[in-house]
Amino acid sequence: MTNSHQTDLIARLPKAELHLHIEGSFEPELMMALAARNKIDLPFKTLEDAKAAYNFSNLQEFLDLYYQGMQVLRTEEDFFDLTLAYLQRAKADNVRHVEMFYDPQAHTERGVPFGVVTDGILAAIRKGEQELGISSYLIMSFLRHLSEEDGFDLLVESERWHDKFVGVGLDSSEVGHPPLKFERLYQRCAEIGFKLCMHAGEEGPPSYVREALLDIGVDRIDHGNRCMEDPELVSIIRDMQVPLTNCPLSNLSLCVIDDLKKSPVKAQLEQGLLVTVNSDDPAYFGGYIGRNYEKTAEALDLSNDQLIQLARNSFTGSFLPEAAIKAHLASIDESIA
Distance CA 67, CA 206 (A): 27
Selection from ligand HPA, Zn ion, none that 225 binds (CB < 5 to 8 A by kind) is none
Q: How many CB atoms lie under 10 A from the CB of residue 101?
A: 25
Residue 58 or 241 with smaller CB distance to ligand HPA = 58
By the rule CB under 5 A, 280 interacts with Zn ion: yes
* Catalytic one of 23, 27, 76, 202: 202
Angle at 51 between CA 49 and CA 54, to 5 degrees: 115
User: Where does this chain touch Zn ion (CB under 5 A) — which range of 8-16, 80-88, 130-138, 273-281?
Assistant: 273-281
Phi, psi dihedral angles at 24 (to 5 degrees):
-85, 5
Distance CA 174, CA 188 (A): 21
Site for ligand HPA in 113-142 (CB under 6 A): none
With CB under 6 A as the contact rule, the residue among 202, 226, 237, 320 that binds ligand HPA is: 202
What binding mask, one character per residue, do residues 266-285 give for ligand HPA by CB under 6 A, x or -?
--------------xx----
Q: Is residue 143 within 8 Å of residue 172, measured between CB atoms?
A: yes
By the rule CB under 5 A, 99 interacts with Zn ion: no
Point out which residues pair with 135 in neighbouring strands. 97
Selection from Zn ion, ligand HPA, none that 202 binds (CB < 5 to 8 A by kind) is ligand HPA
Task: Report the candidate in 144, 140, 133 with the shortest Cα–Cα distance to residue 163.
Answer: 140
Minimum distance from residue 8 beta carbon to ligand HPA (Å): 29
What binding mask, one character per residue, do residues 15-54 give for ligand HPA by CB under 6 A, x or -?
------x--x------------------------------
Q: Is residue 19 within 8 Å of residue 276, measured between CB atoms?
A: yes
Q: Sheet of 165-171: strands edge to edge?
A: 15-21, 95-102, 135-143, 165-171, 195-200, 220-223, 244-246, 275-277
Residue 23 is among the residues annotated as catalytic for this protein? no
Residue 255 CB partners (closer than 8 Å, separation 6+): 56, 57, 58
User: Where does this chain touch Zn ion (CB under 5 A) — which range of 85-93, 183-191, 251-259, 277-285?
Assistant: 277-285
Query: Rule CB under 5 A: which residues touch Zn ion?
Result: 280
Query: Rule CB under 6 A: which residues touch ligand HPA?
Result: 21, 24, 59, 66, 171-172, 199, 202, 250, 280-281
